[in-house]
């Protein structure tokens, strides 16, 4: 089956620093990638959708200048949390879909803790 990886799996940083999370599709070309965040005991909330080579489309309420998304290739998307604060602490999950694909494949998630 299709595999999506994320790196790092866990990161702890100080308030005010920036953190980059990578999402890779290992055995397929992902024309579209999605970034979700999940707070404890809550469901996944879509943050943004990115298509390879295009600017990301952000959901309402998500600050595009704070959560920078780059989808430079068909196998890699990155999410950079700029000037992170404790309220940004969450579980970030990426997902990938092929062109015309019916199914999304999810990465294992990245636990971000901002002190």
By the criterion CB under 8 A, which residues form the site for other proteins? 6, 34, 41-46, 49, 91, 93, 95, 102-109, 111
How far, in Å, CA of 60 to CA of 40, rounded?
21
> C-beta of 1: minimal distance to other proteins in Å?
8
What is the spatial distance between Cα 14 and Cα 104, in angstroms, rounded to a whole number? 33
Q: How far is the CB of 36 from other proteins (least distance, A)?
A: 8
Q: Which is nearer to other proteins, 10 or 64 (CB)?
A: 10
**Cα–Cα distance measured from residue 48 to residue 18, given in angstroms and rounded to the nearest whole number:** 18
**Of 34 and 67, which CB lies nearer to other proteins in the complex structure?**
34
Of 87 and 103, CB closest to other proteins: 103
- Using DSSP, state whether 100 is helix, strand or coil: coil
State in angstroms the smallest separation of the CB of 107 from other proteins: 6
3-state helix, strand, coil in the chain (%, to 5): 5, 50, 45
């Amino acid at each position: 089956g299709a595999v999506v990886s994320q790196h790092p799996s866990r990161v702890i940083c100080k308030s005010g620093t920036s953190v980059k999370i990578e999402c890779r599709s290992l055995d397929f070309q992902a024309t579209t990638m999605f970034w979700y965040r999940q707070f404890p005991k809550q469901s996944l909330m879509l943050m943004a959708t990115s298509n390879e080579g295009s600017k990301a489309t952000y959901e309402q309420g998500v600050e595009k200048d704070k959560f920078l998304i780059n989808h430079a290739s068909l196998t890699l998307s990155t999410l950079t949390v700029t000037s992170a604060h404790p309220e940004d602490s969450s579980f970030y999950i990426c997902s990938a879909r092929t062109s015309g694909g019916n199914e999304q494949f999810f990465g294992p998630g990245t636990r971000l803790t901002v002190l």
